[in-house]
């Protein structure tokens, strides 16, 4: 019998979290609607289930007998996907809401929800030298259209399920998670994986012109997957119910990321800028004051270290095809 449920377990973060939990001996139920052949990681010995959690009955089946839920189920991707699929992203409200209802009715002890930095107000992210975002900067609300609004709504649902029904909910706002075994092509990939793919192809083929969305001066922070899993476990197990940032505070521009990848790959590329492509906000960074105050910890794996591992993995995947 499983004691922990991970939804969205076929995804990049869900797979890494499931693998970490399984390595500690936890009995897991892992649920995702994708065919298992498309899961990023498949945990041996877990109760791996293909299920569509947009359906309340499937949520009830998923939570049966478990004490802890990690709800990572969502339809999402990088900025190109988010901007082109606002309705699909908002439909993630179905698994989000149904999982809360099912968890409440089943007497689940702890419910973790993976939110996003996309909940933050757009008018606080208009400059590349952005002031790092504090948790209170989500209000007055002006979230990323589509995806960000669904995340912010579900954060409120988690709060009210605790207030009204006593369901212990925990919320982390993820800031741009990346690493090996993640999506790196097909339209859902994020900047570290996309740029790693482009530069790896340049190194492998000699075709050295790459496309960069925007002018490359837009800034972000990026969190390596190991830090994400550690922080997720810590926040889920902790005593604090209100949302907390889970992200690196190392602010870099896209051009600086390309510089790092050129060094890692030992290759130089010609940068072709597409100013019409989706870019998102101008700048976004994580203020980690609250997570340091609460837990005495924050994500610390440097972008250079994380990119090195991510690039090498993507390079090897591509090299096998060429």
pLDDT digits (tens, 9 = 90+) for 96-155: 999 999 999 999 999 999 999 999 999 999 999 889 999 999 999 999 999 999 999 999
User: Is there a contact between 53 and 106 (Cβ–Cβ < 8 Å)?
Assistant: no
**Sequence-ordered list of residues with C-beta below 8 angstroms from that of 248, at least 6 positions apart, any chain:** 175, 221, 222, 223, 224, 227, 286, 299, 300, 301, 303
- Residue 261 is predicted with a pLDDT of 98
Q: What is the pLDDT of residue 279?
A: 86
CA 134 to chain centre: 18
The pLDDT of residue 1 is above 80: no
Pairing mode of beta strands 223-224, 110-116: unpaired
- pLDDT in the model for residue 99: 98
- The predicted model gives 301-307 an average pLDDT of 98
Taking 90 as the threshold, does the pLDDT of residue 85 lie above it?
Answer: yes
- What is the per-residue pLDDT for 222? 98
Q: Is 9 helix (H, G, I), strand (E, B) or coil?
A: coil
| Distances, alpha carbon 283 to alpha carbons 49, 123, 261, 292, in Å | 39, 11, 20, 22
What is the rounded end-to-end Cα distance, in angstroms, of the chain? 44
Comma-separated ranges of CATH 3.90.25.10 domains in the chain: 180-221+250-285+302-319
Mean pLDDT of 285-310: 98
Is-contact 308 264, C-beta < 8 A? yes
Average confidence (pLDDT) over 219-242: 98
The pLDDT of residue 78 = 86
Distance of alpha carbon 226 from alpha carbon 297, whole angstroms: 14
Please give the pLDDT value at position 2.
87
Q: Are 9 and 32 in contact (CB under 8 A)?
A: yes
CATH number of 180-221+250-285+302-319: 3.90.25.10
In whole angstroms, what is the distance from residue 257 CA to residue 196 CA?
Answer: 9
How many CA atoms does the CB half-sphere of 267 hold within 13 Å? 21
Over 90: is that where the pLDDT of 77 sits? no
**Tens digits of per-residue pLDDT, 174-226?**
999 999 999 999 999 999 999 999 999 999 999 999 999 999 999 999 999 99
Q: What is the rounded distance in angstroms from the CA atom of residue 93 to the CA atom of residue 73?
A: 10
* CB contact at 8 A, 72 and 13: yes
pLDDT tens for residues 21-60? 999 999 999 999 999 999 999 999 999 999 999 999 999 9
* Residues 4-177+222-246, CATH architecture: 3-Layer(aba) Sandwich (3.40)
* Cis amide prior to 140 (ω within 30 degrees): yes
Q: Is 38 exposed, middle or buried (0-12, 13-18, 19+ CB in 10 A)?
A: exposed
Q: Which residue has the higher pLDDT, 255 or 129?
A: 255
Cβ contact 200:258 at 8 Å: no
Residue 247 has pLDDT above 90, yes or no: yes
Helices assigned H by DSSP within the chain:
12-23, 56-63, 79-84, 86-90, 93-106, 147-165, 191-205, 225-237, 254-265, 289-295, 303-319
Average pLDDT, integer, range 274-293: 95
What average pLDDT is seen over the chain? 96
Residues annotated as catalytic are: 147
H or E stretch covering 29: strand 28-32
Residues of each domain in the chain carrying CATH 3.40.50.720: 4-177+222-246
């Amino acid at each position: 019998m499983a004691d922990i449920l991970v939804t969205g377990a076929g995804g990049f973060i869900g797979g890494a979290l499931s693998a970490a939990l399984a390595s500690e001996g936890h009995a897991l139920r892992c649920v995702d609607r994708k065919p298992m052949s498309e899961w990023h990681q498949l945990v041996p010995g877990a109760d791996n289930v293909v299920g569509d959690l947009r359906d309340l009955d499937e949520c009830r089946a998923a939570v049966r007998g478990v004490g802890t839920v990690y709800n990572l189920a969502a339809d999402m991707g990088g900025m190109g996907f988010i901007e082109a699929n606002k309705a699909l992203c908002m439909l993630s409200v179905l698994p989000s809401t149904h999982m809360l209802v099912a968890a409440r009715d089943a007497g689940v002890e702890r419910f973790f929800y993976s939110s996003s930095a996309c909940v933050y107000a757009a008018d606080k992210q208009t400059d590349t030298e952005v002031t790092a975002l504090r948790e209170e900067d989500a209000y007055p609300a002006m979230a990323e259209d589509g995806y960000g609004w669904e995340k912010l709504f579900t954060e409120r649902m988690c709060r009210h399920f605790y207030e009204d029904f006593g369901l212990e909910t925990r919320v982390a706002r993820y800031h741009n998670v990346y690493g090996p075994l993640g999506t790196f092509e097909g339209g859902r990939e994020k900047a570290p994986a996309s740029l790693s793919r482009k530069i790896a192809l340049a190194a492998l083929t000699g075709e050295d012109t790459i496309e960069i969305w925007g002018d490359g001066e837009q800034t972000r922070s990026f969190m390596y997957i190991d830090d994400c899993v550690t922080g997720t476990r810590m926040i889920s197990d902790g005593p604090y119910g209100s949302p907390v940032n889970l992200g690196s505070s190392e602010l870099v521009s896209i051009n600086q990321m390309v510089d790092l990848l050129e060094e890692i790959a030992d290759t130089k590329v010609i940068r072709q800028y597409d100013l019409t492509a989706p870019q998102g906000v101008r700048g976004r960074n994580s203020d980690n004051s609250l997570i340091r105050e609460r837990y005495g910890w924050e994500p610390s794996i440097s972008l250079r270290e994380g990119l090195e591992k991510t690039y090498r993995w993507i390079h090897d995947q591509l090299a096998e095809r060429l």
